Structure 1
Amino acid sequence: MRSESKNQPNESWYRSRGTVIVAMIAVILGFFIIREHWEHLTGRWIYLLLLLCPVMHFFGHGGHGGHGKSEGSNEQNS
C-alpha cells in the first residue's frame, strides 16, 4: 500500500504543532515576566529605547551594503 503522506504538501516549520506550542508558552511566560517586573522597567524605559537605536542600526544594514558606498563606486580603486 502507498503512503497517503506523499500527496500532502510539506508543512512549514512555523506552522508545525510544536512551534505553535512553544510560541504560545513563550508569549505567556513573557507576559508574566513583564507583569512582575513592570515597575523596574518603567523607570528605565528610556535607556531601553536608547539601546534599541544601535541594535536597529546594526541589524538594519543587511540589504543595502553599508555606509559610504554608492552604486557606481569601485572598490578596486582604494
Structure 2
Amino acid sequence: MITSRTWVLMAISFGVIAAFFVLREHWTHVLGLAPYLLLMACPLMHLFHGHSGHEGHHHHDREDRKP
C-alpha cells in the first residue's frame, strides 16, 4: 500500500523533473525575467519580514542591562 509520504515524495520528484525540462527549454526567457524577480524580492522581503527582527536585538540588550 502506498502511504501519503510516498505520494508526497512522488509529487516532489515529478515537480523537480518537470521544472528541469521547462527551464531547459526556456532558459533564455527565465534569465530575461531575473532582473525583475530581483526587484520584486526587495519589497516582498520588507512586506513579509516585518520589523520584529530588528526589535529582537534591542530587547536582548535591555534585558542584559537590568541589575
Q: TM-score, length-normalised on structure 2?
A: 0.60
**Deviation string for 1:41-69 (max 9, x for gaps)?**
222311111112222222223x828xxxx
Once the two structures are superposed, the pairs formed by residues 20-59 of structure 1 within 5 Å of their partners are: 20-59=9-48
Structure scoring higher RCO (CA < 8 A, sep ≥ 6) equals 2
Which moved further from structure 2: 16-25 or 49-58?
A: 49-58
Sequence identity of aligned pairs in percent? 38
Q: TM-score, length-normalised on structure 1?
A: 0.53
Ranges in structure 1 where 5+ consecutive residues have no aligned partner: 1-12, 72-78
Structure 1's consecutive aligned runs of 4 or more residues displaced over 6 angstroms after TM superposition are none
The 3-state SS of whatever aligns with 1:59 is helix
Higher Rg of the two aligned structures: 1
Question: Which structure has the highest helix share of the two?
Answer: 2
1:18 aligned partner: 7
Ranges in structure 2 where 5+ consecutive residues have no aligned partner: 60-67
